[in-house]
Amino acid sequence: MNILTASNIEKRYSNHLALDDVSIAVPKGSIYGLLGPNGAGKTTLIRIINQITGPDKGEVLFDGHKLAENDIYRIGYLPEERGLYKKMKVGEQALFLAQLKGLSRTEALKRLKYWFEKFEIQGWWDKKIEELSKGMAQKIQFMVTIIHEPQLLIFDEPFSGFDPINAQLIKDEILDLKKRGTTIIFSTHNMSSVEELCDHITLINKSKNILSGQIDQVRMNYGSNVFEIAYRGNIEAIKSNISSHYDIINNDTEGSIPKVQVVASSPSEGNKLLQSLIPHIEVVSFNPVVPSMHDIFIKVVQEYNKAHGLSSN
């Protein structure tokens, strides 16, 4: 079941089309990666989901009904361009933002107490934001984003400004939220964290959705016809036996066990390839090569831009 469905969204600003017929479907309880180059239209889509702005065409469904004003209490948003009132005290500010998200004062106080203890920042309550470091302020920002326990969380570059230890803390927190059933839309340029966290992705480029799907499926689709073989034996034996059918793209003879990467014409040819090799060499391991999201991102975007005669900027 999808907690959020956006269908055929179009949004036009005075001189350009920010979103062109974009559709996404976010399954309940998943972490959904929203990827794309700068200026592709991700932030516009996120703002539409947050009702900061409205679509010109298309429809957004939230939890089965048309997105309504009250839904903001069930959505949490950590914008990329984020900040807090510099001169306001941490505690008062957190209380203010929590109440804006519909919590009562007492409930907000109770939950803030829990989070301040959990993050071990009780001593910050009476400090002003301007007295905190950027990372410390980010921590507060993250806390007030999730304080009202929304069903849908939208994180735009949540790890920026964090040191590795705090980034890990936030990552664990995100996984914990997922475990408790929260759906998360995750927008980032950090592809390794996409691989690590996301279940589904959508890649937006030039205002259009150019790639969508389950992340494993997407990765398989983009390269499962490449196989890596670790072997003992003579490389010439491989070359002479398979080169007529398959391309060898990577020949790594470093290390005790040499490896070779072979491109088959389809993912289903793994068995055939293996059969043709076994008589000539000893196969130590045989694996399909799954491309990284990083490679897929670059490949898909570049191919799309080339096909449509667009520049990559």
Q: Binding residues for other proteins, per CB under 8 A?
A: 13-14, 47, 50, 52, 54, 56, 69, 72, 75, 77-79, 81-88, 96-97, 99-101, 141, 144-145
Pairing of strands 259-263, 226-232: antiparallel
Q: How far apart are CA 19 and CA 53, in angstroms?
A: 12
Question: Nearer Cβ to other proteins, position 141 or 224?
Answer: 141
CB of 169 to other proteins, least distance (A): 20
User: Is residue 195 a contact partner of residue 256, using CB atoms and an 8 Å limit?
Assistant: no
Smallest gap from residue 103 Cβ to other proteins (A): 11
Q: CB 217 → other proteins: shortest distance, Å?
A: 31
**Residue 26: CB minimum distance to other proteins, A:** 17
* Nearest residue (CB) to other proteins, 49 versus 262: 49
- Count of CB atoms within 10 A of residue 266's CB? 9
Which residues fall within 8 angstroms of residue 52, CB to CB, at 6 or more apart? Answer: none
Burial class, 240, CB count within 10 angstroms (exposed 0-12 / middle 13-18 / buried 19+):
exposed
Q: How far is the CB of 173 from other proteins (least distance, A)?
A: 18
Of 99 and 261, CB closest to other proteins: 99
C-beta closer to other proteins: residue 162 or 222: 162
Looking at the Cβ atoms of 17 and 283, the one nearer to other proteins is: 17
Beta strands, E only, the chain: 2-13, 16-27, 31-35, 57-62, 65-66, 75-78, 152-156, 183-187, 200-205, 208-214, 226-232, 247-252, 259-263, 282-288
